[in-house]
């Protein structure tokens, strides 16, 4: 594909996500601002926080130097209209005329990227690497790569990450009444739990042979009412619903029956209420022998994930692009921005959808990755 067409396609995607009209993107950005006039204004009103060189003076304030002009202008307008909420910025932006906004955006965009000493100090901390280190204490039972070999012990490889994190926390709270698992992860804090979950979710699950007990063919028919939540052939596409494909049969049987006793889940309790013991054995035989697969949306490293983000964020030669540059941006600011999108506190459908599945551990990893990249 022609490079400029590619840029336009991505741009329309990005703009569409911001709720702007679909026919806008192909037009060039509105009148260019006056850099010299923008400089005067910036020195008076912005320098105290955004620095004389456009570099942030404190954590959680974004660098503005070399940022895309269209994005800077759009942000200022969003503060002005209240679409983006920040009391100080709103006051500042409402006092500015349309021309002021254009000029100051042009000025910051024209500055060379700040070679921030702080940015170089930021080390990328990969949640996957941390998770891998923490997972050594699970290897004895769940296998080094999360593929368990002991009957009764579940495979964690390729399992949905939100589900894994929730499951660990259920053991902590003693909701599942298993003292063995309660003690194993008791020391981990919430971030550690998310990192463990991410590591295991990114591992490749291996297929199992059909268990001796149960009839997989009969089980396939019986599984019809499970597939709506657990996915086709037990490969879940929902981050909070576990995959069942290729899971250890003994564990599956125990887990299914536990919804009649210890495990609480309204949906599950209803669905298994009318199953006979034989039905359960058959469904278990079916799921245990299916080909497992890690979810598509689970990247295996921060770099893989960032590659997806860069489709919109790293269009160097496209000044009209509204997705901001992130390389070398202040780390705390990036963390705040991503959490705000995810939690619906900063409006952008595109970015909400992008950040929605990510735990704080993933956000931390992404923010430290971008902050540690040299700004361009
Ligand atoms: C009191 C400190 C302060 C002053 C003064 C200030 N800013 Fe900011 N600015 C911030 C903070 C903090 C944020 C992040 C706010 C948020 O979370 O949305 C920000 C965000 C921005 C953003 C959004 C950047 C992005 O990456 O999304 C723009 C654009 C901006 N400021 C421009 C300006 C301009 C232009 C001026 C001067 C006319 C100015 N600011 C004055 C503190 C300040
Ligand atoms: C001593 C062996 C052992 C160790 C060590 C161990 N586990 Fe487990 N784990 C089990 C068993 C057995 C179960 C099944 C318990 C049940 O029936 O609820 C289980 C269940 C789980 C589940 C629930 C899976 C699901 O599909 O719901 C998760 C998640 C889990 N373990 C995570 C971990 C993590 C993370 C570690 C390391 C920090 C760990 N386990 C260490 C034996 C162990
Ligand atoms: C309405 C959606 C829904 C339906 C239908 C459903 N499940 Fe579930 N299932 C869930 C959710 C959500 C969980 C996780 C609950 C939890 O945290 O304990 C779950 C958990 C499970 C688990 C535990 C897995 C593990 O790793 O510990 C098993 C086994 C299971 N379901 C089997 C079935 C079977 C068999 C059927 C069909 C008879 C079925 N489910 C139907 C939503 C559903
Ligand atoms: C489809 C295009 C697209 C993709 C893919 C995308 N973004 Fe964005 N991103 C945008 C747009 C457009 C904005 C500006 C939205 C706004 O005005 O708030 C944005 C804004 C942001 C901001 C705010 C930056 C600032 O200076 O305030 C961050 C942080 C961010 N994205 C991170 C990411 C990360 C991390 C990923 C990958 C997980 C990603 N984005 C993927 C289009 C995209």
Residue 180 CB less than 6 A away from ligand 2 = yes
CB 98 within 8 A of CB 26: no
More confident residue, 358 or 69: 69
Q: How many whole angstroms from its chain centre is CA 106?
A: 32
Same domain, 282 and 319: no
Residue 56 CB less than 6 A away from ligand 4 = no
More confident residue, 323 or 251: 251
CA angle 279, 281, 283 (to 5 degrees): 65
Residue 313 CB less than 6 A away from ligand 4 = yes
117 pLDDT above the threshold of 50: yes
What is the C-alpha to C-alpha distance for residues 227 and 220, in angstroms, rounded to an integer? 10
What is the domain count for the chain? 2
The confidence score (pLDDT) of residue 280 equals 97
For range 134-158, the mean pLDDT: 95
CB 156 within 8 A of CB 165: no
More confident residue, 99 or 239: 99
Confidence of residue 332 (pLDDT cuts 50, 70, 90): very high
CATH number for the domain spanning 248: value is 1.10.760.10
Residue nearest to atom 39 of ligand 3 (CA): 226
Residue nearest to atom 10 of ligand 4 (CA): 323
The confidence score (pLDDT) of residue 1 equals 34
Residue 242 CB less than 6 A away from ligand 3 = yes
Dihedral in degrees, nearest 10, Cα atoms 300, 198, 181, 213: -50
Residue nearest to atom 29 of ligand 3 (CA): 256
Tokens linked to 313? 């964020």
Pocket perturbation via mutation, ligand 4, pick of 11, 81, 105, 324 by most ligand atoms within 8 A of CB: 324
More confident residue, 361 or 186: 361
304 pLDDT above the threshold of 70: yes
Same domain, 163 and 150: yes
Q: Which ligand sits nearest to residue 43's alpha carbon?
A: 1
State which H helix or E strand residue 141 sits in.
helix 139-142
202 pLDDT above the threshold of 80: yes
What is the C-alpha to C-alpha distance for residues 222 and 280, in angstroms, rounded to an integer? 9
- Give the predicted TM-score (pTM) of the model: 0.78
Q: Classify residue 305: in a domain, yes or no.
A: no
The confidence score (pLDDT) of residue 314 equals 83
Q: Quick one: which of 102, 101, 100, 96 has its CA closest to 31?
A: 102
Residue nearest to atom 18 of ligand 3 (CA): 265
Q: How many whole angstroms from its chain centre is CA 218?
A: 38
The domain boundary, picked from 272, 288, 304, lies at 288
The confidence score (pLDDT) of residue 29 equals 46
How does pLDDT run across 335-357, given as a tens digit for each residue?
Answer: 999 998 888 888 877 777 666 66
Q: Classify residue 295: in a domain, yes or no.
A: no
Same domain, 319 and 283: no
Same domain, 110 and 146: no
Residue 225 CB less than 6 A away from ligand 3 = yes
Residue nearest to atom 9 of ligand 4 (CA): 323
Confidence of residue 176 (pLDDT cuts 50, 70, 90): confident
CA 273 to ligand 3 centroid distance, Å: 12
Confidence of residue 6 (pLDDT cuts 50, 70, 90): very low
Same domain, 216 and 340: no
Q: Classify residue 219: in a domain, yes or no.
A: yes
Q: Classify residue 358: in a domain, yes or no.
A: yes
In ligand 1, the atom with minimum distance to the C-alpha of 84 is 18
Q: Classify residue 293: in a domain, yes or no.
A: no
Pocket perturbation via mutation, ligand 1, pick of 33, 39, 62, 87 by most ligand atoms within 8 A of CB: 62
What is the C-alpha to C-alpha distance for residues 55 and 61, in angstroms, rounded to an integer? 9
315 pLDDT above the threshold of 90: no
The confidence score (pLDDT) of residue 20 equals 37
CA 313 to ligand 4 centroid distance, Å: 7
CB 198 within 8 A of CB 146: no
Residue nearest to atom 23 of ligand 4 (CA): 337
What is the C-alpha to C-alpha distance for residues 81 and 165, in angstroms, rounded to an integer? 39
Pocket perturbation via mutation, ligand 1, pick of 46, 48, 89, 331 by most ligand atoms within 8 A of CB: 89
CB 245 within 8 A of CB 235: yes
Range of lowest pLDDT (7-21, 112-126, 266-280) = 7-21
Same domain, 149 and 58: no
Pocket perturbation via mutation, ligand 3, pick of 162, 242, 290 by most ligand atoms within 8 A of CB: 242
The confidence score (pLDDT) of residue 27 equals 38
Same domain, 116 and 144: no
Q: What percent of the chain has pLDDT over 70?
A: 84
Q: Classify residue 224: in a domain, yes or no.
A: yes
Q: Classify residue 249: in a domain, yes or no.
A: yes
What is the C-alpha to C-alpha distance for residues 72 and 202, in angstroms, rounded to an integer? 36
Confidence of residue 69 (pLDDT cuts 50, 70, 90): very high
Q: Where are the alpha helices (DSSP H) in 186-301?
A: 190-201, 216-222, 227-230, 249-258, 266-272, 277-288
How does pLDDT run across 204-229, given as a tens digit for each residue?
Answer: 999 999 899 999 999 999 999 999 99
Mean pLDDT of the chain: 85
Residue nearest to atom 10 of ligand 2 (CA): 153
Transcribe 74-113 into DSSP letters: HHHHHHHHTSS--HHHHHHHHTS-HHHHHHHHHHHHHSPP
Same domain, 266 and 137: yes
What is the C-alpha to C-alpha distance for residues 361 and 364, in angstroms, rounded to an integer? 5
Same domain, 107 and 33: yes
CB 362 within 8 A of CB 28: no
Range of lowest pLDDT (35-39, 217-221, 275-279, 294-298) = 294-298
What is the C-alpha to C-alpha distance for residues 65 and 217, in angstroms, rounded to an integer? 63
For range 285-304, the mean pLDDT: 87
For 178, other C-beta atoms within 10 Å of its C-beta total: 14
The confidence score (pLDDT) of residue 28 equals 40
Range of the domain at 9: 3-123+315-371
Confidence of residue 283 (pLDDT cuts 50, 70, 90): very high
324 pLDDT above the threshold of 60: yes
- Residue 255: DSSP 8-state: H
Same domain, 362 and 270: no
Same domain, 228 and 358: no
The confidence score (pLDDT) of residue 357 equals 66
Same domain, 144 and 70: no
Residue 45 CB less than 6 A away from ligand 1 = yes
What is the C-alpha to C-alpha distance for residues 17 and 20, in angstroms, rounded to an integer? 7
13 pLDDT above the threshold of 60: no
Q: Classify residue 209: in a domain, yes or no.
A: yes
């Amino acid at each position: 594909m022609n490079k400029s067409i590619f840029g336009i396609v991505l741009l329309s995607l990005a703009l569409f996500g911001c709720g702007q009209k679909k026919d806008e993107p192909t037009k060039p950005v509105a009148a260019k601002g006056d850099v010299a006039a923008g400089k005067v204004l910036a020195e008076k009103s912005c320098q105290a926080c955004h620095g004389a060189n456009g570099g942030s003076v404190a954590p959680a304030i974004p660098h503005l130097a070399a940022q895309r002009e269209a994005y800077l202008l759009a942000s200022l307008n969003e503060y002005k209209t209240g679409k983006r909420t920040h009391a100080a910025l709103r006051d500042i932006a409402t006092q500015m005329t349309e021309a002021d906004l254009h000029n100051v955006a042009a000025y910051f965009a024209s500055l060379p990227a700040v070679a921030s000493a702080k940015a170089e100090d930021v080390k990328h901390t990969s949640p996957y690497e941390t998770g891998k280190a923490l997972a050594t204490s699970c290897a004895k039972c769940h296998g080094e790569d999360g593929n368990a070999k002991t009957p009764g012990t579940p495979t964690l490889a390729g399992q949905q990450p939100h589900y894994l994190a929730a499951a660990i926390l259920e053991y902590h709270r003693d909701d599942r009444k298993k003292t063995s698992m309660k003690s194993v992860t008791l020391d981990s804090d919430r971030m550690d739990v998310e990192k463990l979950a991410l590591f295991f979710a990114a591992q490749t699950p291996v297929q199992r042979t059909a268990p001796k007990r149960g009839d997989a063919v009969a089980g396939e028919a019986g599984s019809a009412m499970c597939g709506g939540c657990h996915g086709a052939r037990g490969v879940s596409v929902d981050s909070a619903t576990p995959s069942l494909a290729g899971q250890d049969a003994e564990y599956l049987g125990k887990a299914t029956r536990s919804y009649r006793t210890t495990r609480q889940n309204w949906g599950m309790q209803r669905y298994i209420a009318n199953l006979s013991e034989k039905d359960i054995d058959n469904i278990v035989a079916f799921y245990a022998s299916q080909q497992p697969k890690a979810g598509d949306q689970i990247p295996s490293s921060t770099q893989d994930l960032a590659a997806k983000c860069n489709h919109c964020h790293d269009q160097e030669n496209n000044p009209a692009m509204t997705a901001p540059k992130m390389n070398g941006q202040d780390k705390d600011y990036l963390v705040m921005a991503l959490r705000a999108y995810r939690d619906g506190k900063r409006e952008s459908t595109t970015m909400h959808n992008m950040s929605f599945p990510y735990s704080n551990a993933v956000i931390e990893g992404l923010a430290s990755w971008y902050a540690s990249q040299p700004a361009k």
